[in-house]
Amino acid sequence: MSAYHPLNETEAIEIARTMKNVFPAGAELNCREIGDGNLNLVFHISDSVSGSSIIMKQALPYAKVVGESWPLTLDRARIESEALIQEGKLAPGLVPNVYSYDPSLALTIMEDLSDHVIMRRGLIEGGRYPLFAGHISTFLAQSLFFTSDLGMNQQDKKIRLRDFINPELCKITEDLIFDHPYTDADTNSFDEAIRDEAEALWSDGALQLEVALLREKFLTHAQALLHGDLHTGSIFITPESTKVIDPEFAYFGPMGFDIGAIIANLLTSFASRIHWDADEPAREAFRAYLLSTIAEIWTQFEAKFRALWDQHGVDRLASAAPGYKDDYLRRLLQDTIGYTGCKMIRRIVGLAHVAEIDSIPDTAARERAQRLTLAIGKSLIKLNRNAQSIHQLIDTVKTTTAS
Ligand code: SR1
Ligand code: MG
């Protein structure tokens, strides 16, 4: 066992050489550090002789996006590898295979997905993924149902919860998503041109009430094992395949947080399409594709979740009580809509932004995309507790965009 230290590329190759079942003797190994996320080192190691390759992901003891002044637990690497293994059992084929995990180096070695692209990048380039709604709704239904009190032994769930106590990563979410955007926090980051929008968030009491309620649920509602950071940068994709990665924020929380994360990031893509003004039909077609994907995700998720409940429900009363299932799914939709809004707003005024909006080259177009994202996010948060159908989310996006 090696003592923890951040690896360099030469050391990563040395570790890879010990993986005899992947790299045969005589392998010509090349290594590149390719991590472009906020927190970790990611090494891509390939054998130019056999073509075999792997990914090595190492947690750093601080948040890379800020620097060493923001220490961060290495235990998140254990949580990530355990969550990936669990998700792989519940949703086979929808996460990368984990080959090994070394706690001393906070190092996970896993399947290389270089034949896929990061979905955020794919969407920026106008990619369409017709199987995505089916794949992600299966991932969500399977991973959420079977780790909830509806689908697993309720005593085992209480014990399993211990493995996913993730206070430092949850604190990041509690602060960066559910608190800082609603006050003049040092971590906030936004263009001066939209200062009026940021300041409006800081004094919107009705909005803050809804965010406080959603935050309370994030703090207290251990409904199911979440991925915890399920944005389009946490998904590798091709038109045929979807792989969910990076569950280092995993913990037992409200299911709607994961579903809302996906929808929010499809909507930041929707809002970013503003700079395609010159080609309005193409822009509108892409936006229509995104909205139909969102509706499909919810509709397919709900159908799959209900079917799992009918076939595998473990809670007698939850299955027998008239109206309980409908009420549960209505509350889940409402949470999903609320968390969607929260996850949109944080991407405009909070610390961590999204490339589809930040990379809009034209300043005026970027500002319009930022304002649209905030307007949709606020409308969805204000809608959340009154929502009865996914179509209200879609209608809200359309009316807000048109106004
Ligand atoms: C300090 S970490 C900032 C963000 O990156 C992660 O992907 C999470 O979304 C987190 O909020
Ligand atoms: Mg991540």
Looking at the CA of 352, name the nearest ligand: 1
Write the pLDDT tens digit of every residue in 244-280: 999 999 999 999 999 999 999 999 999 999 865 668 8
In degrees and rounded to multiples of 5, residue 160 shows phi and psi of -60, -30
**CA neighbours closer than 13 Å in the CB half-sphere of residue 150:** 26
Confidence tier at 35 by pLDDT (50, 70, 90): confident
Percent pLDDT > 70 in the chain is 99
Write the pLDDT tens digit of every residue in 164-176: 999 999 999 999 9
Write the pLDDT tens digit of every residue in 184-232: 999 999 999 999 999 999 999 999 999 999 999 999 999 999 999 999 9
Given this model, what pLDDT does residue 275 score?
A: 66
Average pLDDT, the chain: 96
Mutational test site, ligand 1, from 40, 57, 65, 346, max ligand atoms within 8 Å of CB: 65
Q: Can you tell me the mean pLDDT for 30-55?
A: 92
Q: Can you tell me the mean pLDDT for 58-64?
A: 92
Given this model, what pLDDT does residue 280 score?
A: 87
CA–centroid distance, 238 to ligand 2, in Å, is: 19
Question: Is residue 402 predicted with pLDDT exceeding 80?
Answer: yes
Question: Is residue 67 predicted with pLDDT exceeding 90?
Answer: no
Concatenating the DSSP letter of every residue in 208-220 gives: HHHHHHHHHHHHH
Report CA torsion sign: 184, 188, 193, 198. Answer: negative
Percent pLDDT > 90 in the chain is 92
Closest residue by Cα to atom 9, ligand 1, is 229
Question: Is residue 65 predicted with pLDDT exceeding 90?
Answer: no
Q: Is the CB of 38 under 6 A from ligand 1?
A: yes
Question: In this predicted complex, what is the ipTM?
Answer: 0.98
H/E run at residue 71: strand 67-71
Q: Can you tell me the mean pLDDT for 338-365?
A: 97
Does residue 148 contact residue 96 with C-beta atoms inside 8 Å? Answer: no
Given this model, what pLDDT does residue 64 score?
A: 85
Confidence tier at 36 by pLDDT (50, 70, 90): confident
Does residue 244 contact residue 95 with C-beta atoms inside 8 Å? Answer: yes
Question: Is residue 283 predicted with pLDDT exceeding 70?
Answer: yes
Please give the annotated binding residues for ATP, written as ranges.
Answer: 40, 57, 111-113, 246-248
Tokens 């780790």 found at:
147
Atom of ligand 1 nearest to the CA of 351: 3
Given this model, what pLDDT does residue 376 score?
A: 98
Measure the CA–CA gap between 348 and 340, rounded to whole angstroms: 13
Radius of gyration of the chain from its Cα atoms, rounded to whole angstroms: 21
Domains of the chain: 9-111 (3.30.200.20), 117-402 (3.90.1200.10)
**Tokens found for residue 182:** 């609603």
Question: Is residue 37 predicted with pLDDT exceeding 90?
Answer: no
Given this model, what pLDDT does residue 276 score?
A: 59
Looking at the CA of 64, name the nearest ligand: 1
Write the pLDDT tens digit of every residue in 143-162: 999 999 999 999 999 999 99
